[in-house]
Structure 1
C-alpha cells in the first residue's frame, strides 16, 4: 500500500468513526458508546464468517477470527487503530463539551 493511500485511509477511518461516535454520543447520551462498539465493528470488518456462526459454531468462528486477525498487515492495523482513536476522541470531545455547559439534544 502506498503512503498516500495509507494516509487517506487513515483520515477516512478517523473522520468516519469520530463522526459516527459524535452523533451517537449526542443522540443516545452515552459518552463511550462508539468506543465500546468499535471492537465489534472491527470483528465484522476482519472476519470472513457469518455473525450467526459465532452463536451456532463458536469454536470454529473464533478460531477463524484469530487466524484472520493475526494475518492482518501493518497498514491494516494502522488504519484500524486510527479509527479507534477517532472513536475515543469523539467521547472525549463530547464529555468536554458537556462539562463546559453545552447540551446536545
Structure 2
C-alpha cells in the first residue's frame, strides 16, 4: 500500500467514524456509544467467520479471530486505529457541546 493510499484511508476512516459516532451520540443521547460499538465493527471487518459461528463454535472462531488480528499489517492497524480515534473524538465533541449548553434533539 502506497503512502497516498494510506493517508487517504486514515482520513476516510477518521471522518467516517467521527460522523457516524456523532450522529449516534446525538440521536441516542449517549456520549460513548460508538467507542463501545467500534471494536465490534473492527471484528466484523477483520474476521472471516460468520457472526453465528461465535455462538455455535466459540473456541474455533475466537482462535481464527486471534490469528486474523495477529496477521494484520501495520498499515491496517494504523487505519483501524484512526477509526477508533474518530469514534472517541465524536464522544469528546458531543461532551464539549453539551457542556457549553447545546442541546441536540
Specify if TM > 0.5.
yes
1:94 deviates by 0.1
Count of residues in correspondence between the two structures: 105
Aligned-pair distance for 1:34? 0.1
Q: How much does 1:103 deviate?
A: 0.2
* 1:60 aligns to 2:77 (yes or no): no
CA drift at 1:28: 0.2
- TM-score normalised by L of structure 1: 1.00
Match of 1:51 in 2: 51
Deviation at 1:101, TM superposition (A): 0.1
Structure 1 residue 76: Cα displacement: 0.0
Structure 2 residue ranges without an equivalent (≥5): none
3-state SS of 2:92 partner:
helix
Write the distance in 1 (CA, Å) between the matches of 2:17 and 2:57: 30
Q: Are 2:8 and 1:8 aligned?
A: yes
Partner of 2:74: 74
| Cα distance, 1:54 vs structure 2 | 0.3
Alignment partner of 2:90: what SS? helix
Q: So what's the TM-score if we normalise by structure 2?
A: 1.00
**What do residues 21-52 of structure 1 show as CA deviations (whole Å, max 9, x unaligned)?**
00000000010000000000000000000000
Partner of 1:30: 30
SS at match of 2:81: helix
